[in-house]
Amino acid sequence: MKRVTFARIRSEEAGPIIRRLMDEGFVDIHAKISKDDAYRYVPILPERLGDEPVASMDLVEGDAHTLDRRPPQERIRERLSPYPEFEGILPEKWEYVGDIVIVRMRPECRPYGRIIGQAYAEVLGAKTVCADVSGVSGEFRKPSMEILYGTETESVRLENGIRYGFDVTKVMFASGNTDERMRMRNLDCSGETVVDMFAGIGYFTLPLAKFSGARRVFACEKNPESYRFLIRNVKDNGLADTVIPILGDNRDIPGKEFADRILMGYVQTTSEFLGAALRMIKPGGILHYHDTFYVHEYESRIRQIFGRECGDDGYEILSLREVKSFAPSVSHYVADVRVRPSRRSCTRRGTCSSRPRNLPHRRP
Question: Is it true that the peptide bond before 53 is cis, omega within 30 degrees of 0?
Answer: yes
CA nearest neighbour of 150 among 74, 111, 99: 99
Q: How far is CA 70 from CA 4, 74, 78, 92, 290, in A?
A: 22, 7, 11, 14, 42
Distance, in Å, from the CA atom of 145 to the CA atom of 301, rounded to the nearest integer, reads: 34
Q: How far is CA 89 from CA 46, 95, 106, 303, in A?
A: 41, 17, 7, 45
CA 316 to chain centre: 28
248 Cβ contact partners less than 8 Å away, ≥ 6 residues apart: 220, 222
Rounded to 5°, the CA angle 208-212-218 comes to: 45
- Read off the pLDDT of residues 74-113 as tens digits, 9 standing for 90 and up: 889 888 887 888 888 888 889 888 789 999 888 888 888 8
Residues of the chain with CATH 3.30.70: 3-63
Element (H, E) at 258: none
**Start-to-end C-alpha separation, the chain:** 55
Tell me the H-state helices in the chain: 11-23, 72-79, 113-124, 178-186, 205-211, 224-236, 274-280, 298-310
CATH of 3-63, one of 3.40.50, 2.40.10, 1.25.40, 3.30.70: 3.30.70
Rounded to an integer, the average pLDDT of 34-58 is 87
Distance, in Å, from the CA atom of 299 to the CA atom of 321, rounded to the nearest integer, reads: 10
Residue scoring higher pLDDT (141 or 160): 160
Position 25 scores a pLDDT of 85
| Highest mean pLDDT out of 18-22, 51-55, 306-310 | 306-310
Q: Are strands 100-103 and 281-294 parallel, antiparallel or unpaired?
A: unpaired
Average pLDDT, the chain: 87
Distance, in Å, from the CA atom of 336 to the CA atom of 42, rounded to the nearest integer, reads: 42
Position 122 scores a pLDDT of 87
Percent above pLDDT 70 for the chain:
89
Rounded to an integer, the average pLDDT of 295-317 is 94
Do 32 and 70 contact (CB within 8 A), yes or no?
Answer: no
Kindly report which listed range (61-75, 99-113, 150-164, 190-204) carries the lowest average pLDDT score.
Answer: 61-75
Domain 72-152 has CATH 3.30.300.110: yes
Kindly report which listed range (24-38, 106-120, 205-219, 321-335) carries the lowest average pLDDT score.
Answer: 24-38
| pLDDT above 80 (res 137) | no
Q: How far is CA 322 from CA 9, 143, 274, in A?
A: 36, 23, 20
Position 213 scores a pLDDT of 97
Instruction: Please report which confidence band the pLDDT of residue 47 belongs to, taking 50, 70 and 90 as the band edges.
Output: confident
Q: Which amino acid is at 89?
A: I
Rounded to an integer, the average pLDDT of 211-237 is 96
Three-state secondary structure readout of 13-26? HHHHHHHHHHHCCC
Residue scoring higher pLDDT (226 or 351): 226
Position 227 scores a pLDDT of 96
Domain 178-339 has CATH 3.40.50.150: yes
- Read off the pLDDT of residues 106-133 as tens digits, 9 standing for 90 and up: 888 888 889 999 999 988 888 899 998 8
| pLDDT above 60 (res 364) | no
- Read off the pLDDT of residues 226-274 as tens digits, 9 standing for 90 and up: 999 999 999 999 999 999 999 999 999 999 999 999 999 999 899 999 9
SS3 8: strand
| pLDDT above 60 (res 347) | no
Do 171 and 198 contact (CB within 8 A), yes or no?
Answer: no
Residues of the chain with CATH 3.40.50.150: 178-339
| pLDDT above 90 (res 291) | yes
Instruction: Please report which confidence band the pLDDT of residue 1 belongs to, taking 50, 70 and 90 as the band edges.
Output: low
Residues of the chain with CATH 3.30.300.110: 72-152
Position 101 scores a pLDDT of 92
